Amino acid sequence: MDKIIELKNVSFRYSDEETEVIKNLNLDFYEGQFTCVLGHNGSGKSTMAKLINALLVPTQGEVISYGFKTSDEANEIKIRRNIGMVFQNPDNQIVATIVEDDVAFGPENLGIPREEIRQRVDEALKLVDMYEYRKHEPHRLSGGQKQRVAIAGVIAMKTGCIVLDEPTAMLDPKGRREVMDALLKLKNDLGISIILVTHFMDEAVKADRVVVMNDGEVCLDGTPADVFTNTELLKSIGLSVPKPLELAIELRKSGVNIGGTPLTAEDFVKEYKEFTKNRG
Amino acid sequence: MSVLSVKNLIYGYSKGTPFEKGALKGVSVDFRKGEIVAVIGHTGSGKSTLLQHLNGLLKPDSGEVLFDGKSIYESKETLRKCRFNVGLCFQYPEQQLFESTVYKDIAFGPTNMGLSAEEIKKRVHSSIDYVGLTEDYLDKSPFDLSGGEKRRVAIAGVISMEPKVLILDEPTAGLDPLGKNNLLKLIKDYNEQTGNTVIFVSHNMDDVALVADRVIVMNDGEVALDGTVDEVYSQGEKLASLGLDVPEITSVFIELNNAGFDLGHTEYTVEGAKNAILNSLSKGGAV
């Protein structure tokens, strides 16, 4: 897989603070991958997300996004044409009074011809399953719907990568599912690279790769199954573990040897069947 | 004994416009003294609307709100009494901080209650302690704090009024797992140490299972289920049909039962699930 973003020995400190939020971080992101970044509040994960698309520039080291160095101001526009960003609060990122106008805002700023904008907006709204709401007023939508409109706004700019900073934190379970489904579809159907910063383990379980940050550094990096096996470490840094896995681990302690790394209820049932079968 | 109750509450939004929507359709609930009640339901189910009736922020189209057995709309005094005794903390309460110091912000409620300077001071100190912050926070500007700290200061501002009923609308929204656990502990502590009632809204079924004595499930402006955590959570399939996420362990149990393993009623904690599985295995032979 091609490397799209590269963080090399990156440190970052906010100007009014003494401590470094990011400490000598080395991390790469790859094309077409769905990466989840986990970490508790203050672990540096949101700062990392903002470093990727040049909203922040490192105090030390360098970030290269799509071949462009983020510290060079002349690169900003080029980087943002490749990396779109969606934030936590749906109410803070909607600018227009009609859904389709909001989605058109990005491509309009790119100077794209009218007919093509029309086409891109319709496609984007269909992808996130919001096409039938195209004439609605955004403020009457639910949180999950608003976030999908925000995501459509990024898709309409045809960026290769979308970075989302806790996009589901303010949503209810239904809204969270809608957003996750939309993201998985973008990755699977269009090959868009997704970098999702989140607190929710059930979202991380669906990713190709999970990066756990703690105290400005990467402390775990691998597939969900690899990462979540480190239950004690995760708990010690204030994160939780998917409950089916926790149950399997607890059962193993009592001599019930359920195999694998069951991250979901389905996985667990599969492993449990296997276990009872072997037991005869 | 019920401390707060609502009877046949009916309330609609945007009346007389094309957006008219019935938010509460005849809701009756008794909140008893000393219990922790979780109100759950998908967005638009009417749970926030219900909470806003409990201290008279919204006035019902019809129906009654009783505090200590008296209608809160009986007189100016009864409404005032209700406002001071039923403390309501909105979603994202940190957005409502406004004073120049944490001390002044927490003192705002008690000051309005007309308490003596000495009593106000005592309450500010005890409530900052309650929410797990140290006293050196009192002189800071609330706007210099982190999101989680701000939320705790905002909650301290409500606790300082020592409400008989503390109501929190989605208190853990947006917090990381550690911040969430601290806040749940705060709910439990306030309830245990003061014996006061706590009512909170949550979307997280696992959080609810940790602290609540009783669960009320709202759906389409009505109470769909009302009972202990055990009673409500054992109806996993019904919960799913109401658009709610069942706890992860509950879905493990539903799937195990569907796959033909008879493990009895649905468990919702890792501990309970472990015991149920060990039990069933030991019945079926040696582990």
pLDDT tens for B97-121 read 999 999 999 999 999 999 999 999 9
Taking the C-alpha atoms of residue A85 and residue A99, their distance in angstroms, rounded to an integer, is: 18
Q: Whole-angstrom Cα distance, residue A101 to residue A141? A: 15
Decide if A143 touches B, using CB distance below 8 A.
Answer: yes
User: So what's the pLDDT on residue B205?
Assistant: 84
Interface of B with A (CB under 8 A): 42-44, 146-148, 173-179, 203, 206, 243-245, 247-249, 251-252, 254-256, 259, 261, 270-271, 273-274, 277-278, 281, 285, 287
**A63 and B CB contact within 8 Å:** no
Interchain CB contact of A123 with B (< 8 Å): no
Q: Is A239 on the interface with B (CB under 8 A)?
A: yes
One-letter amino acid identity for B24?
L
Domain boundaries, given as residue ranges, for chain B:
2-230, 247-287
pLDDT at residue B127 tops 60? yes
pLDDT attached to residue B286: 43
CB contact under 8 A, B274 and A265: no
**Shortest Cα distance, chain A CAs vs residue B3, angstroms:** 30
Count of CB contacts below 8 A, A vs B? Answer: 95
Contact status of A178 with chain B (Cβ, < 8 Å): no
Inter-chain residue contact B147 with A143, CB threshold 8 Å: no
| Chain B residues lying within 8 Å of A228, measured CB to CB | none
Residue B174: what residue type?
A: G
Of A199, A246, A273, the CB nearest to B176: A199
pLDDT digits (tens, 9 = 90+) for A238-260: 888 899 999 999 999 999 999 88
Q: Distance (Å, rounded) from C-alpha B52 to C-alpha B33?
A: 19
Which of chain B's residues have a Cβ under 8 Å away from the Cβ of A166? Answer: 174
Are A88 and A170 a contacting pair, CB within 8 Å?
yes
For strand B197-201 and strand A34-38, is the pairing parallel, antiparallel, or unpaired? unpaired
Per-block mean pLDDT, blocks of 10 residues, chain A (280 long): 94 86 95 94 90 94 96 92 90 89 92 93 92 91 88 92 91 85 93 94 94 94 94 89 92 90 92 86
Overall fold of domain B2-230: Rossmann fold (3.40.50)
Of residues B251, B203, B211, the one with CA closest to residue B229: B211
Instruction: Indicate the pLDDT class of residue B61, thresholds 50, 70 and 90.
Output: very high
- Determine whether the interchain pair B252/A268 forms a contact, defined as Cβ–Cβ distance below 8 Å: yes
Interface test with B, best of A14, A17, A38, A41 (most B CBs within 10 A): A41
DSSP for B43-95 reads: TTSSHHHHHHHHTTSS--SEEEEEETTEETTSSHHHHHHHHHHEEEE-SSGGG
pLDDT at B250: 86
* pLDDT reported for residue B287: 45
Question: Does the structure show a pLDDT above 70 at B49?
Answer: yes
Looking at chain B, which residue has its C-alpha nearest residue A167? B174
Collect all residues of chain A within an 8 Å Cβ-Cβ radius of residue B249: 243-244, 247
DSSP state of A131: G
Kindly report the nearest CA distance between residue A145 and chain B, in angstroms.
12
Can you read off the two tokens belonging to residue B269?
A: 């904690």
pTM over the 0.80 mark = yes
The mean pLDDT value for B183-211 works out to 91
Residues of A in contact with B251 (CB under 8 A): 265
User: Degrees (nearest 5) of the Cα angle B29, B32, B38?
Assistant: 65
The answer to whether the CB atoms of A251 and B177 lie below 8 A apart is no
Residues of A in contact with B254 (CB under 8 A): 265
Distance, CA of B32 to chain centre: 14
